[in-house]
């Protein structure tokens, strides 16, 4: 029996409802009957309503990756920020940023100092100018800021915006999770920014962390009322372990 069939057999004739111009699906625990309205992902990754479930899902993954990182003597967690010059052409800017960071990760000095990490992209807009940042948590030996800045200047064709400092594991989780769902963009620019990141994951592991990410298995979702596992449909949606369309 598919999940869609199980859902309709719960008796709801209208599985979706619109609240504050956003679509929700009414879902019900088939074990205890607990029900709730859950936002349906609208396709805009900067949507404030959709961000809550996404943030919880990604936070669990990032936390697991940091705890499961390989123990390499002499390495610490650091947060790294890389920036590009402002531009009116957002899609080109994002592509250039990601291409430059890929080139940086291929440099011998970067590989020598940094074993792995994960990163997200943050977009801001001032007037008609877009600004893009790479925010990363890295597992690293000592890095000479000036060498890293010079490499970034070469890889990004002239940009010199580099910031790096040590960060505790707990703060590292908060740091990356914040930028996964953070949006200071007005509503009329959110969809433009979302389209520019189409096909790009919310956060990306690299180096030794890439293999760690592949081993991650999400915890089973539980009903908040009866704590049931797998005997219910809806909390797969609430905990973010769902794919649309589901009906």
pLDDT of residue 106: 97
What local confidence, expressed as pLDDT, does residue 127 receive? 77
pLDDT value, residue 236: 45
Q: In this structure, is residue 105 part of a structural domain?
A: yes
Q: What angle do CA 121, 123, 128 make, to 5 degrees?
A: 155
In a domain, 11, yes or no: no
Supply the pTM of this predicted model: 0.79
Residue ranges for the chain with pLDDT beneath 70 = 1-17, 19, 181-183, 202, 230-247
80 domain residue, yes or no = yes
CA distances from 34 to 21, 130, 239 (A): 25, 44, 15
Task: Of 163, 165, 162, give the one whose Cα is nearest residue 142.
Answer: 165
- pLDDT at residue number 201: 76
Backbone angles phi, psi at 101, to 5 degrees: -70, -35
Q: Which CATH number does the domain housing residue 150 bear?
A: 3.30.70.260
Residue 140 placed within a domain: yes
The answer to whether residue 201 sits within a structural domain is yes
| pLDDT for position 134 | 95
* pLDDT digit string, tens, across residues 201-240: 767 999 999 999 999 988 777 777 888 775 445 444 444 4
For residue 95, what are the domain limits? 72-214
Residue 119 lies in a domain: yes
| pLDDT for the residue numbered 190 | 84
Residue 162 lies in a domain: yes
Residue 4 counted as domain residue: no
Instruction: Report the candidate in 116, 118, 95 with the shortest Cα–Cα distance to residue 179.
Output: 118
Considering its fold, how many domains does the chain have in total? 1
Question: What pLDDT was estimated at residue 151?
Answer: 98
Q: According to the model, what pLDDT value does residue 181 have? A: 62
């Amino acid at each position: 029996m598919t999940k869609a069939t199980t859902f309709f057999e719960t008796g709801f004739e209208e599985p979706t409802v619109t609240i504050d111009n956003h679509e929700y699906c009414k879902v019900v625990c088939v074990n205890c009957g607990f029900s709730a309205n859950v936002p349906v992902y609208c396709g805009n990754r900067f949507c404030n309503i959709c961000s809550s479930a996404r943030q919880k899902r990604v936070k669990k993954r990032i936390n697991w990756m940091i705890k499961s990182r390989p123990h390499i003597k002499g390495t610490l967690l650091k947060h790294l920020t890389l920036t590009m010059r402002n531009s009116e052409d957002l899609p080109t800017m994002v592509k250039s940023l990601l291409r430059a960071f890929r080139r940086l990760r291929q440099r011998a000095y970067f590989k020598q100092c940094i074993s792995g990490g994960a990163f997200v992209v943050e977009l801001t807009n001032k007037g008609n100018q877009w600004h893009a940042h790479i925010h990363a948590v890295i597992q690293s030996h000592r890095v000479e800021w000036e060498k890293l800045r010079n490499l970034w200047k070469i890889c990004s064709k002239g940009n010199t915006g580099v910031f790096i400092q040590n960060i505790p594991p707990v703060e590292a989780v908060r740091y990356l999770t914040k930028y996964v769902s953070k949006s200071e963009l007005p509503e009329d620019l959110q969809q433009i920014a979302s389209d520019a990141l189409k096909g790009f994951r919310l956060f990306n592991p690299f180096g030794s962390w890439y293999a760690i990410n592949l081993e991650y298995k999400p915890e089973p979702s539980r009903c908040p009322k009866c704590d049931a596992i797998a005997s219910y449909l809806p909390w797969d949606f609430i905990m973010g372990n769902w794919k649309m369309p589901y009906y």
